[in-house]
């Protein structure tokens, strides 16, 4: 840590981690509900819908906290100056957390906007917007005052502004369900395949550069090409969500072609990471952070690239749309692209903030491998359930519950994999919050 | 490749995709009005959408394929189970799903809200969305007909004839109703196309016809039943 204000990042990370744990507990309830009967009396009070709203919103909340913390850690080093206002950073952390807690409690009492992933009620949306504006102001002012622009800063700021702007499309009430879904995807798709990719690409480039000692101009050149391709394929690729919503037929072509290209920038990211590994000039001090970086690049490619490609073509998507195949892709992609990226950032920044040069990574390694293996298995079993559902319900036309009864076994296995994932996560969280220096190795 | 070229790749890539996307967005807005029958969105449909959102239905069910996957898709729910089926399931899920191993919460929606939701689903039912979902496509036979074809080995047209109530009025080989004419040799008099036309709208052929138009048959069912009947000679 070179600048005092970087310390604020620690509290963003520390706030994000327990939320991640809570997300998994709710996930277990969801998998349980798919496999066994939850009695009517419990369903009436705590339905699947409420738990699902919590599961997904916790994901968004902890990941955004991670991105913001990551930003507050990176920006001082990139601009070679302190954060514009530490007080604003604190205010914004507390505001976001308070909004999150109120929203979660609100869901329990049925206070919701009622649109998947955008359940946060409209009055709270305003608080989110104010928080986002404060954040952007703080980051932008730091950069403007320092006036030492780099591609990493530009990408980061661009991604964050884009992220905030898109959120606005999720706030209005749309009278037409078709138009509703049309703009719903401006938030969801353009976040995860646009704005979030920009933010992660910038964070990833920063960590890669710092860890490998590869020169800035090389890293930033790759960064430009990658984000260019991410946005080229990602923006028009939104069309793969417009096949069956009542939008014009040309979206089958536009969505199919652009999204078939979506794996390209991810492959590029993978190649570029591998090349930096080869050409690294600095000694890797903390192998676990490095494992996270490489793991993230590979998992990102599998979960988002391969799994996304598998069911993005209209001919296949006609049968897999809105089935557990989507769930399989969602879990692998979010974990691979964003959970691992955030955890990599935590493992990079938290030891530095604590002043630990080389940390003891024995527990962390166990956590990493347990989570990665458990999530891969979950992805595969969700996928098996999804293929069964597509075939039985959609191809054979045998009815929803008939298909569900064949999927029960696989959802039950997912439930048990969830416990393995939880064990890995609890180890990781404990490790991150109680990092200690490694004993000198003989 | 220099950093400058890389920057241009970024700029052109982003802008070209954004231009395509925004242009198509503009066009989509115009076309959606027709594809979704936007002129039929009245206050009840909107109230139904609000109720649908108020009770967070979409976090268990999908609609147009989006949402959660815990309950069945609702895009063609009206076609599948009808107004009354929807009403009963929302009003008394504890009865509707008493024997199911998966339950639906009773959200205590008012009768007015339920009626609004039915109006909303009726409107959604008619959206022209490239014939999704496949299980509710009008290009396929119903589940009962498929089962008959598979288990009894009858032709698809015969399955439609038996399961869609044709035999309440018409007879074959002396079995069936007597309200309408027996159809044992109908194929001698009419072609497949003529039968298809007649079944769809009897009065357009014979103004005195008593037979009601068979509107609930899917395109595939109509085609199969006409093929079956035209072969009876």
Query: Residue A377 class from Cβ within 10 Å (0-12 exposed, 13-18 middle, 19+ buried)?
Result: middle
Q: Inspect the interface and report whether the beta carbons of A224 and B10 lie closer than 8 Å.
A: yes
pLDDT at A269 over 50: yes
Q: Inspect the interface and report whether the beta carbons of B13 and A228 lie closer than 8 Å.
A: yes
Structure tokens at A237: 């690729």
Q: Inspect the interface and report whether the beta carbons of A224 and B7 lie closer than 8 Å.
A: yes
Please tell me the CATH code under which domain B143-230 is placed: 1.10.760.10
Q: Inspect the interface and report whether the beta carbons of B24 and A243 lie closer than 8 Å.
A: no
Say which range, A124-138, A159-173, B141-155, has the weakest mean pLDDT: B141-155
Antiparallel, parallel or unpaired: β B66-67 and B171-172: unpaired
Contacts of residue A29, defined as CB under 8 A and 6 or more positions apart, other chains included, come to A51
How many helices and strands (H and E) does chain B possess? Answer: 11, 4
pLDDT tens profile A369-387: 999 999 999 999 999 999 9
Q: Pick the residue of A246, A261, A265 with the most B CBs within 10 A to test the interface with B by mutation.
A: A246
Alpha carbons B27 and A254: distance in angstroms, whole number: 14
Q: Inspect the interface and report whether the beta carbons of A110 and B56 lie closer than 8 Å.
A: yes
Alpha carbons B80 and A129: distance in angstroms, whole number: 41
- CA atoms A223, A225, A230, A231: torsion sign: positive
Whether B37-130 and B143-230 share one fold: the answer is: yes
Q: How far is A167 from chain B (nearest CA, A)?
A: 17
Pick from B104, B119, B126: which is nearest to B56 by CA? B104
Pick from A275, A55, A299: which is nearest to A200 by CA? A299
Start-to-end C-alpha separation, chain A: 27
Q: Inspect the interface and report whether the beta carbons of A49 and B28 lie closer than 8 Å.
A: no
Alpha carbons A88 and A76: distance in angstroms, whole number: 15
pLDDT at B51 over 50: yes
Structure tokens at B80: 């599948």
Query: What's the rounded mean pLDDT across residues A40-66?
Result: 97
State residue A424's pLDDT score: 98
Average pLDDT of chain B is 92
Alpha carbons A38 and A32: distance in angstroms, whole number: 8
Cβ–Cβ < 8 Å for A388, A380: no
Query: Residue B40 class from Cβ within 10 Å (0-12 exposed, 13-18 middle, 19+ buried)?
Result: exposed
Pick from B200, B75, B214, B219: which is nearest to B139 by CA? B219
In the block, residue with structure tokens 């702007």: A165
pLDDT tens profile A276-328: 888 888 888 899 999 999 999 999 999 999 999 999 999 999 999 999 999 99
Nearest chain B residue to A151, by CA? B7
Q: Is A231 part of the contact surface with chain B (CB cutoff 8 Å)? A: yes
Average pLDDT of chain A is 95
Pick from A322, A320, A419, A424: which is nearest to A370 by CA? A424
Q: pLDDT-based confidence at B138, cuts 50/70/90?
A: confident
Query: What's the rounded mean pLDDT across residues A259-280?
Result: 89
Q: Pick the residue of A224, A320, A394 with the most B CBs within 10 A to test the interface with B by mutation.
A: A224
Ramachandran angles phi, psi of B65, nearest 5°? 90, 0
Q: How far is B14 from chain A (nearest CA, A)?
A: 5
Residue B57: other Cβ atoms inside 10 A: 23
Q: Inspect the interface and report whether the beta carbons of B24 and A228 lie closer than 8 Å.
A: no
Largest CA distance in chain A: 69
Alpha carbons A346 and A69: distance in angstroms, whole number: 9
In the block, residue with structure tokens 């936007």: B38
Nearest chain A residue to B59, by CA? A49
State residue B176's pLDDT score: 83
Helices B111-125 and B43-54: crossing angle in degrees, nearest 10, is: 110
State residue A442's pLDDT score: 46
Structure tokens at A37: 């009967």
Between residues B120 and B138, the one the model is more confident about: B120
Q: Is A355 part of the contact surface with chain B (CB cutoff 8 Å)? A: no
B189-201 burial, b at 16+ Cβ within 10 Å, e below that, comes to ebebeebbbbbee
pLDDT tens profile A143-190: 999 999 999 999 999 999 999 999 999 999 999 999 999 999 999 999
Residue A135: other Cβ atoms inside 10 A: 24
Q: Inspect the interface and report whether the beta carbons of B35 and A248 lie closer than 8 Å.
A: yes
In the block, residue with structure tokens 């595969």: A380
State residue A441's pLDDT score: 59
Domain range annotation of chain B: 1-35, 37-130, 143-230
pLDDT at A214 over 70: yes
Fold held by B37-130: Cytochrome Bc1 Complex; Chain D, domain 2 (1.10.760)
ipTM of this complex > 0.90? yes
In which element (H, E) is residue B172 found?
strand B171-172
Cβ–Cβ < 8 Å for A72, A89: yes
Q: How far is A354 from chain B (nearest CA, A)?
A: 36
Local structure of B62: helix, strand or coil: strand
Structure tokens at A140: 């932008």
pLDDT at B59 over 60: yes
Structure tokens at A99: 């909004």
How many angstroms from the chain centroid is the CA of residue B228?
24
Alpha carbons A211 and A323: distance in angstroms, whole number: 41
Distances (CA, A) of A103 to A100, A123, A162, A268, B37: 5, 10, 24, 39, 35
Q: Inspect the interface and report whether the beta carbons of A229 and B13 lie closer than 8 Å.
A: yes
Structure tokens at A367: 């956590």
Alpha carbons A108 and A101: distance in angstroms, whole number: 11
Local structure of A198: helix, strand or coil: helix
Cβ–Cβ < 8 Å for A181, A245: yes
Query: What's the rounded mean pLDDT across residues B170-182?
Result: 85
Say which range, A25-34, A55-64, B88-97, B206-215, has the weakest mean pLDDT: B206-215
């Amino acid at each position: 840590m070179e600048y005092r204000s970087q310390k604020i990042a620690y509290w963003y990370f520390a706030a994000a981690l327990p939320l991640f744990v809570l997300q998994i507990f709710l996930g277990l309830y969801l998998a349980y509900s798919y496999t066994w009967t939850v009695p009517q009396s419990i369903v009436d009070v705590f339905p699947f819908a409420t738990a699902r709203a919590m599961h997904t919103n916790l994901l968004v909340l902890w990941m955004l906290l991670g991105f913001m913390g990551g930003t507050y850690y990176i920006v001082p080093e990139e601009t070679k100056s302190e954060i514009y206002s530490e007080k604003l950073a604190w205010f914004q952390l507390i505001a976001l957390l308070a909004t999150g807690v109120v929203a979660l409690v609100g869901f329990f009492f049925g206070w919701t906007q009622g649109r998947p992933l955008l359940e946060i009620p409209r009055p709270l949306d305003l608080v989110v917007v104010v928080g986002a504006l404060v954040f952007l102001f703080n980051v932008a002012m730091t950069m403007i005052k320092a006036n030492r622009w780099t591609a990493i800063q530009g990408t980061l700021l661009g991604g964050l502004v884009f992220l905030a702007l898109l959120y606005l499309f999720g706030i209005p009430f749309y009278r037409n369900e078709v138009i509703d879904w049309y703009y719903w995807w401006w938030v969801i798709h353009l976040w995860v395949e646009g704005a979030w990719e920009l933010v992660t690409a910038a964070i990833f480039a920063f960590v890669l550069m710092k860890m490998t000692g590869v020169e800035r101009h090389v890293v930033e050149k790759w960064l430009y090409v990658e984000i260019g391709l991410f946005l080229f394929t990602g923006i028009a690729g939104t069309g793969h969500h417009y096949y069956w919503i009542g939008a014009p037929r040309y979206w089958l072509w536009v969505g199919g072609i652009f999204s078939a290209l979506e794996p390209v920038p991810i492959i590029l990211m993978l190649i570029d990471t591998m090349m930096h590994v080869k050409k690294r000039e600095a000694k890797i001090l903390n192998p676990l952070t490095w494992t996270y970086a490489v793991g993230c690049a590979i998992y990102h490619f599998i979960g988002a690239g391969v799994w996304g490609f598998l069911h993005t073509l209209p001919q296949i998507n006609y049968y897999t749309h809105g089935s557990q195949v989507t769930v399989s892709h969602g879990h692998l992609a979010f974990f691979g692209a964003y959970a691992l990226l955030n955890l990599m950032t935590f493992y990079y920044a938290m030891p530095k903030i604590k002043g630990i040069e080389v940390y003891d990574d024995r527990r962390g390694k166990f956590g990493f491998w347990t989570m990665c293996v458990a999530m891969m298995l979950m992805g595969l079993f969700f996928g098996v359930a999804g293929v069964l559902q597509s075939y039985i319900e959609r191809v054979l036309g045998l009815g929803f519950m008939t298909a569900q009864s064949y999927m029960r076994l696989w959802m039950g296995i997912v439930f048990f994999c969830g416990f393995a994932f939880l064990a890995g996560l609890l180890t990781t969280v404990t490790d991150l919050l109680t990092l200690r220096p490694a004993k000198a190795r003989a | 490749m220099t950093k400058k070229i890389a920057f241009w790749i970024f700029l052109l890539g982003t802008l070209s995709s954004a231009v395509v996307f925004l242009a198509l967005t503009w066009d989509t807005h115009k076309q959606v009005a027709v594809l979704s029958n936007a002129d039929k969105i009245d206050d009840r449909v909107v109230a139904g959408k609000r109720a649908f959102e108020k009770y967070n239905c979409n976090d268990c069910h999908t609609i147009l394929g989006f949402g959660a996957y815990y309950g069945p898709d609702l895009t063609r729910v009206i076609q599948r189970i009808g107004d009354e089926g929807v009403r009963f399931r929302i009003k008394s899920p504890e009865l509707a799903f008493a024997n199911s191993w998966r339950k639906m919460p009773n959200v205590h929606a008012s009768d007015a809200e339920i009626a609004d939701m039915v109006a909303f689903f009726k409107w959604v039912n008619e959206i022209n969305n490239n014939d999704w979902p496949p299980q509710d496509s009008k290009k396929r036979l119903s589940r009962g007909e498929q089962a008959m074809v598979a288990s009894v080995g009858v032709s698809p047209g015969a399955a439609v004839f038996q399961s869609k109530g044709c035999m309440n009025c018409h007879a074959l080989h002396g079995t069936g109703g007597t309200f309408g004419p027996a159809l044992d040799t109908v194929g001698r008099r009419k072609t497949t196309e003529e039968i298809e036309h007649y079944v769809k709208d009897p009065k357009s052929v014979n103004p005195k016809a008593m037979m009601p138009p068979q509107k609930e048959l899917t395109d595939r069912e109509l085609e199969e039943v006409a093929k079956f009947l035209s072969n009876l000679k």
